[in-house]
Amino acid sequence: MGDHMKKVLLLAGLLACAAGAGQAQEVTLKAVTSFAEKTQFSKNFERFIEKVNADGKGKVQINYIGGPRAMPPFEVGNAVRTKVVDIANVTGAFYTNLMPEADALKLISKPGSAQRKDGTFALIEQLHNQKLNAHYLARQFHNVPFHIYMNKKIDKLDFTGLKIRVTPVYKDIVEAMGGTTVTTAPGEVYTALERGVVDGYGWRVTGIFDLGWEKVTKFRMEPAFYSVEVGVLVNLDTWNSLNAEQKKVLDDAAIWLEALESENDDLIKSERERQTKAGIAPIEFSAVDSKAFLAKANEVGWASVIKKAPENGAKLRALAEK
């Protein structure tokens, strides 16, 4: 072989290596959401994916396989743990079977930015590492509360005789008020209401229009309570396999995602007005009773977490109240 030919082969080899390295640089992560696609609690995650796919060209991309049609909501946490998916939009309430402490996330109402500074995120991260083999990338909706929606009017804070659809978020408080609970994924709420299987349900102040629930809802009980938590979780092996540049794309997008929290106040206001127009009337109690309800919700929420996870539960409570 002549020198020229050797050089050509060498160059071709180098180019092939460079191309190979280039390809290895871009990874594609598989994503799911535990809420219906394009609805309130998936929307911002979908915007996050668009941002990552724009900013992460040649580095990291996200392949969005969708919501509950692709995977049942209560299985999403385990799918992250076992790396069936790499990244997910999911609330802690949906994986308390794997991590009882996840039930405490609704009781922590500080923004993600504050939780990063005061040690809360560090503990939440550690728990997700240990129990879910996951990295906790972002916290959404800290400033969106929950309500109990009803189809029967009640005139005192007593749910005796009422059957309420719950998830772990509302189970303890509904039972403490004397109600009976039925746990279902969001996808089953409409039918349960339509058939009169339940007299009410827990849900956030926003989002009931996404699934047509206004058609089967008469009242919204005040006051609002707790704090919605929807996290972005990344399988820990996936996370550890990323290089610094790839992690930066995701970290920056996570901070951007958390900044979207500023949109929530207006959204809450407009959804409350929309509920009124749709004929959903508030059920209101005196200031004293409302305060007692909130105190009870907080107390039973923490008691339940601490019972299941005494040490971590107490630590989380101390951080939440700091």
Give the footprint of ligand 173 on this chain (CB under 6 A). Answer: 41, 91, 93, 167, 169, 186, 202-204, 228, 230
Secondary structure of residue 61 in the 3-state scheme: strand
- Which residue do the tokens 């092939």 mark? 16
In the complex with ligand 173, the residue whose CB is nearer, 42 or 120, is: 42
Q: Tell me how far, at minimum, the Cβ of 218 lies from ligand 173, in Å.
A: 18
In the complex with ligand 173, the residue whose CB is nearer, 56 or 186, is: 186
Number of Cβ within 10 Å of residue 290's Cβ equals 16
Residue nearest ligand 173 (C-beta atom):
167
Secondary structure of residue 297 in the 3-state scheme: helix
Q: Tell me how far, at minimum, the Cβ of 225 lies from ligand 173, in Å.
A: 12
In the complex with ligand 173, the residue whose CB is nearer, 211 or 319, is: 211
211's CB contacts (< 8 A; 6+ apart) are: 36, 39, 186, 189, 190
* CA distance linking residue 103 with residue 106, whole number of Å: 6
| 3-class DSSP string for 73-103 | HHHHHHHHHCCCCCEEEECHHHHCCCCHHHH
Q: Tell me how far, at minimum, the Cβ of 41 lies from ligand 173, in Å.
A: 5
Q: Tell me how far, at minimum, the Cβ of 184 lies from ligand 173, in Å.
A: 8
Q: Tell me how far, at minimum, the Cβ of 191 lies from ligand 173, in Å.
A: 15
Q: Tell me how far, at minimum, the Cβ of 183 lies from ligand 173, in Å.
A: 9
Angle between helices 310-321 and 287-308 (to 10 degrees): 140
In the complex with ligand 173, the residue whose CB is nearer, 91 or 312, is: 91
In the complex with ligand 173, the residue whose CB is nearer, 41 or 239, is: 41
Secondary structure of residue 243 in the 3-state scheme: coil
In the complex with ligand 173, the residue whose CB is nearer, 186 or 301, is: 186
206's CB contacts (< 8 A; 6+ apart) are: 40, 144, 264, 267, 268, 271
